[in-house]
Homo-oligomer: A and B are copies of this chain.
Amino acid sequence: MGVDPHLLRTFVTVARLGSFSAAARELGYTQSAVSQQVATLESDLGTPLLTRRPVLPTEAGGRLLEHAGPILLRLDAARADVARVAGDPPDRLVLGASALAMTRPVAGALAALRRERPRLDVVVAVAGRNEVVAGVAAGRYDLGLVDGITAPNDPLRLPDAGALTAVGVAERPLVVALPAGHPLADRAGLALAALADARWLDAPELAVPAPVLRDSASGGGWRAAVRYEGADCAGLLALVAAGHGIALLPADLAYGPEVTGVPLTSPRLVHRVELVHGRLVAGPAAWLAAHLSDLRPTEVSDASRPRQ
C-alpha cells in the first residue's frame, strides 16, 4: 500500500541515468533486478512510469519523481536524527558550506569553538547550496552555511528539505564588479535596471544567477556572456577584469587591481549567509549554532513554517 522506497530509489536512479543497466551498475544490482523492480513499481501503481528506448519518465513518472526526492531525503533525515540522539557526543564537527558562506564573523565563531574545544576535529566541506541543504537534512553535515542574495532582512529562498531551521548569521553589501576603466566604473552607484543590457557573467555558484536578475528587474536582455561554474572568486574576477562581463558580488570580495566594485543602489540587495540545521542535541554543533545565532542579523525560520 505504501510505495516501497527501495523501489523508489532504483526508479529515481534509472530516470536520472536514463538507463536500466547504468542504474544497475550504480546500485550494485543486476540489470534484471532493476528491470523487475521498476516493473513491480509500475504494476503497484497501475501505470507505466518510464518509456523504454529511450528511457524517459512518462507523465505519471514525472509526478512520482517530484515526490521521490523529498521522500528519500526525509527518510535519511529521520535516520540521521535518531542517530544523533542515540550516539554519544561526537569528537568531530562537519560543516557544509556553499561557496561564499565562510565570512569573517562565521570564521570568528568557528575559531571561538576551536579555542573552547581544542581536541575537536573540524571539517568544512564546500558544496553547492542545494547539496548543503540536502546534506544537513540527511545528517552528512552537522551544520550548514548557505549564502545567497536577497533583500535586506529577507530570508534566502532555500529548497524544501523537511524539518530544517535556518537562521541568518551575516549580511554584507553587494557591488557590481566592473573591469577597472570601464565607462561605468567611476560612478558612485549603479541601479540594476540601468544594466539590463550589459553583458553578465552567469556564475550560479558564486554570484547572482541570471534568472534572479531577470526576476529582480524585469525587462532587458540579461544576456549571459560566459557561464562560470567554478566556486572560486579569483577566477571570476579575472574574467571580469578581462572584460568578459560584469557580475554582482559581495563588496569585500569584488575589489582587486583590475576590478572595481561599484555599489548597487537599487533594488537594495545584500549578500546573506544563513545557518541551516535540523534539531540539535547538546554537542559542538549546538554550541556553534548558539554562538552563530548570537550574531544573527535576523531570525528567519523556526519550528513550523506555513507550507512548502
Chain A residues engaging chain B, CB cutoff 8 angstroms: 2-6, 9, 45-47, 49, 59-60, 63-64, 66-68, 70-72, 74-79, 81-86, 155-164, 166, 279, 301, 304-308
Contact = CB atoms under 8 A, between A and B. Distances in A.
A50 to B, nearest CB: 13
A118 to B, nearest CB: 29
A158 B308 CA distance: 10
B82 A60 contact: yes
A279 B67 CA distance: 11
Identify the interface centre among A60, A157, A161: most chain B CB within 10 Å of its CB.
A60
A24 to B, nearest CB: 17
Nearest to A303: B308
> How many identical chains are in the complex?
2
A46 B157 CA distance: 35
Given A81-B64, A82-B64, A162-B70, A75 B3 contact: yes
A59 B162 CA distance: 19
Nearest to A78: B67
A155 B308 CA distance: 13
A73 to B, nearest CB: 10
A40 to B, nearest CB: 14
30 contacts: A2-B6, A2-B76, A2-B79, A3-B78, A4-B5, A45-B82, A45-B86, A46-B86, A59-B85, A63-B78, A63-B85, A64-B78, A66-B163, A66-B279, A67-B162, A70-B74, A71-B71, A71-B78, A74-B74, A155-B306, A157-B304, A158-B307, A159-B304, A159-B307, A161-B307, A164-B307, A301-B306, A301-B307, A301-B308, A305-B306
A164 B308 contact: yes
Contacts of A85: 47, 59-60, 63
Contacts of A64: 78, 81-82
A32 to B, nearest CB: 21
A3 to B, nearest CB: 5
